[in-house]
Structure 1
Amino acid sequence: MIKLFRFLKTYRWAVTLVLGLVLLQSLSELYLPTLMADIVDKGVIEEDLPYIWKIGGFMLLVAAAGTVFSIIASYVSAKISAGFGKIVRNKIFTHVEHFSLQEFDKIGTASLITRTTNDVQQVQQVLIMMLRMMVMAPMMCIGGIIMAVSKDAKLSLVIVVIIPVLAAAIMIVAMKGVPLFKKMQIKLDKLNLVLREALTGIRVIRSFNRIEHEKKRFDEANADLTETAIKVNKIMGTMMPLMMLIMNFASIAIIWFGGLRISEGHMQVGDLMAFLQYAMQIMFSLIMVSMMFVMVPRASASAVRINEVLDMVPDLKDPEQPKRADAKRGYVEFRDVTFSYPGAEAPAISGITFSAQPGEITAIIGGTGSGKSTLISLIPRFYDVNGGSILIDGADVRELSQEQLRSKIGLVPQKAVLFTGTVADNIRYGKEDATDEEVRHAAAIAQASEFIGEMKEGFDSAIAQGGSNVSGGQKQRLSIARALVRRPEIYLFDDSFSALDFKTDAKLRAALKSETLESTVLIVAQRVSTVMSADRIIVLDDGQIAGIGSHKELMDSCSVYREIVFSQLSEEEIA
């Protein structure tokens, strides 16, 4: 957790101010019992009313000053904690943005959300406590012991006996609670995962009548977390009663032995009252420490999880001196490319060699699991190849900066993703400074103008989270418009026409042809009708190229392609 506190450098002066204020507050609280002892011994016993008023007024001033110090310290520490949380969340988000898909798969989206929210909050809460207590607790404990000894050294032996008992009780409770706090965060991850799956997949769950099954899954994860939380809270719940019991026994012992010391004339009543208060301050300082023991283990577990994300080195790194691509504007070449997913027994694709040039449409077709989407995802460098190389305009993608590489690409993913905002906002996601005319033109090419015009506010109509208020085909067309408005050198369409009817598909492909005359276009498709007119068709089978050529050439030379064609088209359509 201390490793995370490096982000407090911005607030170093504010931290110093809080520590100074807490020190002054502690001194004021340590001074009050001595003033009270003076009032009793010199004012009450000697019946000196002016002295009582004088010291009483001074006590009020000291108490008021301590209260002011406490309020300011609380305010500043809260600001420091909130600012620290903001910085850490920003660091996590910025770092995660550079992860490859491999790192996302390793940690999991649900866990990343928990680490960015709940885990950071746990560390924030402990930071507030530490700012207030890491000075106060030691100061109150050490100062209380010194003041107690100054009042009566022999009576202080009671405190010497009590402190180890109190410390041992705290240690035993903490040792039992620490492992459970770590388990709680893992179980919270599991609960978030189940909840996220249930909410995002609600349509599938309802369509298959699996509501009870998902409810059971959630109940199990919820019960598991609740059981651990109850167990750890029971353990930690014993701490306060245990502390109070020890403190009350300590009070009884102090009053008993203090009474004997007064009767023997070795101590005054005021000193005993002050001694009792100092003993309570010492005990309360140890209770503060015990509260830290309750919070710190959980925050430490959270800090470990946060550091795990921040310390994870992304597989994808920009070269120290990025190479500049040649001015070929979109030339793509695969040279004997092989790629395997982490932990996979066999490569997803192997021995892939082909080239795609500007002004051409290259289509990729194959059966399910043949490696089509994998091949496309290697071009924008979502993953790095295991063997061979991918060149864009003559430069290996690993030698280009990721920003430079992706600025050349307009990707339409297999699963259309829309963001909350307006229709225009989603199209402008491809080009932030796109004019209204450019947005409308991209929508027209993507065959989206008609349904956008039917929406209540047209291009200013709101898109709900995940695009839940538009159909699958409308999502795909908006995703295509988003890529088109960018006017990139390379278009990647990853099965982006699957939700479109044949008529819209044909109109869209015809419009795309005139729009992408100077760009390289790669289309992944399941439909033969989508790829038949392509300049070049690459047929994938089990991760390898089974054939390359035009539709006519492949019908003569590639059995895999013929099988796909015959499974989709009638003899009349083929002819």
Structure 2
Amino acid sequence: MTQQTTTKKSNLELMAILRPYYKKNAGLLAKDLFCAALTTVCDIVLPLILSRITDTATRDVANLTVAFIGKMSALYLVLRLVEIAARYFMQGTGHIMGAKIEMDMRSDMYRHLQTLPHAYFSTHKTGHIMSNLTNDLFDVTEFSHHCPEEYFIGAIKLLASFIILIRVDILLTLILFALIPLYFYVSAKFRHRLRQAQMDQRRKIGDINASIEDSFLGFSVVKSFSNEDVEEEKFQKDNSAFLKIKKEFYYAMAAFQSVSRIFDGLMMLTVLIFGGLSLVWGRISPGEFVAYILYTQTLLVTLARIIEFTEQFQRGMTGLERFDGVMSTRSDIQEKEGALDLKEVRGRLDFDRVSFTYPNADEPVIDDLDLAIEAGHQLAIVGPSGGGKTTLTNLIPRFYDVTGGAIRIDGHDIRDLTLSSLRNNIGIVQQDVYLFSDTVGANIAYGKPGASYEEVVRAAKLAGAYDFIMDLPDGFDAYVGERGVMLSGGQKQRISIARVFLKNPPILILDEATSALDNQSERFIQESLVRLSKDRTTVIIAHRLSTIRDAEEIIVLSEGKIQERGTHQDLMAARGAYYDLYQGGLDGDVEEDKAWI
């Protein structure tokens, strides 16, 4: 279960997200902005140089000497060299600063994603999450250094131009700069449309990524049904929808840039008319008029850069918004302050009037359940699909939190324990085995990071996996493929059991661990599970009744309640629900047992 803030944040609020990342790189940011300021010197000083040369030529051409031209040219050369050096540093170091911010943000997001519960990953597509971690944060990193650079440079040029121009002609300067707020006001009208279109792009590319991933991971199903055309049609549909969204964005961007061109023309026309009249009336000199034209051009270029940066600005804001959407998602599974570490575990489990209801559901999945499992004993759970078997076992490691009552391990309420110590003492073997795209040895060692080769081999032997592993071309170094596709179902299951042997937890959960296997594989796995369960508190969700006859206690769970409980012999003698299941031919019959998965 997760909680997410839904209030839409302003640009300033989104920018505040970057504050701690800028603070961490404050030194680089200061150097970057200093060099950004130096890159403006030529644009600010060049019009003054040309104005000086023009006025010298028109007032007293005798003073227009080779030495004077050489002096002005040398000044420009020095300024240009300073600008080149500053731009080199700004481009290199600025991008490095952005990359560091991206790395830190990606680390924070990945770390936060690790804290989110099962429910989050059940309701969010992997393609969207990958897009958050890659595309969105790349846009943020470009934005994170270009934004301060562009706006800082723009502010310097606007301020310098205003100070210089107002000394030339106050009225013309006031008219010219009065157009700028109107310029930004009209431009701002397009920002919401751009931002929404950018969000739609990110959402759709996430859909496409998820669709492609789903298609490729299920390639065997696609090919077995000869449904390549169906998958291509689905892809083309998503691809066309993405093109439509891109068109909407570029139309909005085109309109935005058209507004920019309109104001460019309007501002230059204002300078030509009022500046020309001032020149005619003798209020300004020819050199000042030339400088005015050049500063106006600099002003327009600066405004154009800010406008062009708007597309990147919107991408950055969208990336920040989606980053904030993930980071503001909070799990309901939280550790208490001062939570205890679970140590020296014997393994007694107590369910004290436990109830659980999924969010937005009306009926509880588990309803006022009382149950005690002695340390080292086995409890088997049977019952119909949807009866609450897997949900009950998911409550033990706090994949979900109870909505009523309490679960205790050795008398400790599991909500009072640290999550790491709780889960480190629980081993889970599931029907759906997940192996990482790595070697056999690495997948086994995942049960105990830092385990020695000897420990991995011993775990493989205990799980009955050693022989088939040594038959592989590279043994423990054999690559298992994505999700373990290079191995059979039984082989994957034995590796997952070896992983739990290596972890060596005092509490074990077997969630229909053999239900998807053939009879021969099941016999091998069952032998491994018997060894694994020895002297551990074990909760077994049963698929085949033949696998649970020797459990100390069996419960029949239906509609969240315990319908029957007892040993195999007691329940058979009672001739109730368990007896009906057993006599119904479910024992050992895979096809009929499916009704009780």
Does 1:407 find its partner at 2:424? yes
- How much does 1:514 deviate? 4.2
> Is the Cα contact below 8 Å between 1:447 and 1:504 reproduced in 2?
no
2:399 aligns with one of 382, 385, 392: 382
Q: Matched residue of 2:40: which SS?
A: helix
Greater shift, 193-202 or 424-433, is seen at: 193-202
- How much does 1:460 deviate? 0.9
Does 1:156 find its partner at 2:173? yes
Q: Which amino acid aligns with 2:197?
A: L
Does 1:205 find its partner at 2:222? yes
Q: Matched residue of 2:367: which SS?
A: strand
Pair 564,7 (structure 1): closer, same or farther in 2 beyond 3 Å: farther
Does 1:481 find its partner at 2:493? no
1:10 aligns with one of 19, 24, 28: 24
> Is the Cα contact below 8 Å between 1:122 and 1:302 reproduced in 2?
yes
Does 1:361 find its partner at 2:378? yes
* Aligned twin of 2:139: 122
> Is the Cα contact below 8 Å between 2:544 and 2:588 reproduced in 1?
no
* Aligned twin of 1:568: 586
- How much does 1:344 deviate? 2.0
d(CA) in 1 for partners of 2:313, 2:444:
47
- How much does 1:261 deviate? 4.2
Where do 5+ consecutive residues of structure 1 fail to align? none
Does 1:194 find its partner at 2:211? yes
d(CA) in 1 for partners of 2:133, 2:342:
37
> Is the Cα contact below 8 Å between 2:564 and 2:571 reproduced in 1?
yes
Deviation track 1:450-479 (CA, whole Å, cap 9, x = no partner) reads 321221011111122211211222211111
1:480-519 alignment runs, 5 A limit: 480-519=497-536
1:30 aligns with one of 44, 48, 60: 44
- How much does 1:68 deviate? 1.4
Greater shift, 83-92 or 338-347, is seen at: 338-347
2:116 aligns with one of 84, 99, 103: 99
* Aligned twin of 2:159: 142
Pair 104,152 (structure 1): closer, same or farther in 2 beyond 3 Å: same
1:405-444 alignment runs, 5 A limit: 405-444=422-461
TM, length-normalised to structure 1: 0.92
Greater shift, 364-373 or 354-363, is seen at: 354-363
> Is the Cα contact below 8 Å between 1:541 and 1:560 reproduced in 2?
no
Q: Matched residue of 1:302: which SS?
A: helix
- How much does 1:257 deviate? 5.0
d(CA) in 2 for partners of 1:162, 1:121:
35
Q: Matched residue of 1:389: which SS?
A: strand
1:265-276 alignment runs, 5 A limit: 265-276=282-293
d(CA) in 1 for partners of 2:402, 2:72:
80
d(CA) in 2 for partners of 1:157, 1:501:
85
Pair 519,239 (structure 1): closer, same or farther in 2 beyond 3 Å: same
1:62 aligns with one of 75, 79, 87: 79
d(CA) in 1 for partners of 2:120, 2:559:
25
> Is the Cα contact below 8 Å between 1:424 and 1:459 reproduced in 2?
yes
Pair 226,352 (structure 1): closer, same or farther in 2 beyond 3 Å: same
* Aligned twin of 2:96: 79
d(CA) in 2 for partners of 1:396, 1:479:
29
Where do 5+ consecutive residues of structure 2 fail to align? 1-13, 590-597
> Is the Cα contact below 8 Å between 1:158 and 1:250 reproduced in 2?
no
> Is the Cα contact below 8 Å between 1:322 and 1:399 reproduced in 2?
yes
> Is the Cα contact below 8 Å between 1:356 and 1:520 reproduced in 2?
yes
Q: Matched residue of 1:97: which SS?
A: helix
* Aligned twin of 1:319: 336
Q: Which amino acid aligns with 2:17?
A: L
- How much does 1:361 deviate? 2.6
d(CA) in 2 for partners of 1:446, 1:461:
18
- How much does 1:324 deviate? 5.1
Aligned residues: 571
- How much does 1:563 deviate? 3.2
1:234 aligns with one of 208, 231, 251: 251
d(CA) in 1 for partners of 2:470, 2:152:
65
d(CA) in 1 for partners of 2:174, 2:342:
80
Pair 505,29 (structure 1): closer, same or farther in 2 beyond 3 Å: same
d(CA) in 2 for partners of 1:63, 1:105:
57
> Is the Cα contact below 8 Å between 2:431 and 2:516 reproduced in 1?
no
TM, length-normalised to structure 2: 0.89
Q: Which amino acid aligns with 1:134?
A: Y
Greater shift, 425-434 or 174-183, is seen at: 174-183
Does 1:19 find its partner at 2:33? yes
d(CA) in 2 for partners of 1:348, 1:214:
36
> Is the Cα contact below 8 Å between 1:247 and 1:283 reproduced in 2?
yes
1:334 aligns with one of 340, 351, 376: 351
> Is the Cα contact below 8 Å between 1:446 and 1:480 reproduced in 2?
yes
2:68 aligns with one of 24, 41, 51: 51
2:107 aligns with one of 90, 98, 103: 90
- How much does 1:493 deviate? 1.4
- How much does 1:333 deviate? 1.9
d(CA) in 1 for partners of 2:17, 2:575:
59
Pair 180,559 (structure 1): closer, same or farther in 2 beyond 3 Å: same
Pair 13,240 (structure 1): closer, same or farther in 2 beyond 3 Å: same
CA RMSD, aligned part only? 2.5
- How much does 1:76 deviate? 1.8
Deviation track 1:421-462 (CA, whole Å, cap 9, x = no partner) reads 210100000012323232222212222223212210111111
Greater shift, 34-43 or 374-383, is seen at: 34-43
d(CA) in 1 for partners of 2:223, 2:150:
51
* Aligned twin of 2:4: none
* Aligned twin of 2:6: none
- How much does 1:253 deviate? 5.0
Pair 69,502 (structure 1): closer, same or farther in 2 beyond 3 Å: same
Does 1:40 find its partner at 2:54? yes
- How much does 1:400 deviate? 0.8
* Aligned twin of 2:187: 170
Q: Matched residue of 2:503: which SS?
A: coil
Q: Which amino acid aligns with 1:547?
A: E
d(CA) in 1 for partners of 2:371, 2:181:
76
d(CA) in 2 for partners of 1:2, 1:27:
28
- How much does 1:512 deviate? 3.8
Percent identity for Structure 1 against Structure 2? 26
> Is the Cα contact below 8 Å between 1:410 and 1:491 reproduced in 2?
yes
Q: Matched residue of 1:421: which SS?
A: coil
Pair 570,203 (structure 1): closer, same or farther in 2 beyond 3 Å: closer
> Is the Cα contact below 8 Å between 2:445 and 2:456 reproduced in 1?
yes
Pair 453,320 (structure 1): closer, same or farther in 2 beyond 3 Å: same
Q: Which amino acid aligns with 1:30?
A: I
- How much does 1:187 deviate? 2.8
> Is the Cα contact below 8 Å between 2:354 and 2:407 reproduced in 1?
yes
1:344 aligns with one of 355, 358, 361: 361
Pair 477,65 (structure 1): closer, same or farther in 2 beyond 3 Å: same
Q: Matched residue of 2:337: which SS?
A: coil
Deviation track 1:482-503 (CA, whole Å, cap 9, x = no partner) reads 1111111011111111233334
Pair 138,25 (structure 1): closer, same or farther in 2 beyond 3 Å: same
Pair 308,505 (structure 1): closer, same or farther in 2 beyond 3 Å: same
Greater shift, 477-486 or 65-74, is seen at: 65-74
Greater shift, 347-356 or 420-429, is seen at: 347-356
d(CA) in 1 for partners of 2:385, 2:184:
64
- How much does 1:43 deviate? 5.7
* Aligned twin of 1:539: 556
- How much does 1:122 deviate? 2.1
d(CA) in 1 for partners of 2:448, 2:105:
29
d(CA) in 1 for partners of 2:88, 2:312:
22
Q: Matched residue of 1:411: which SS?
A: strand
- How much does 1:157 deviate? 5.8
d(CA) in 2 for partners of 1:357, 1:364:
15
d(CA) in 1 for partners of 2:186, 2:345:
74
Q: Which amino acid aligns with 2:437?
A: T
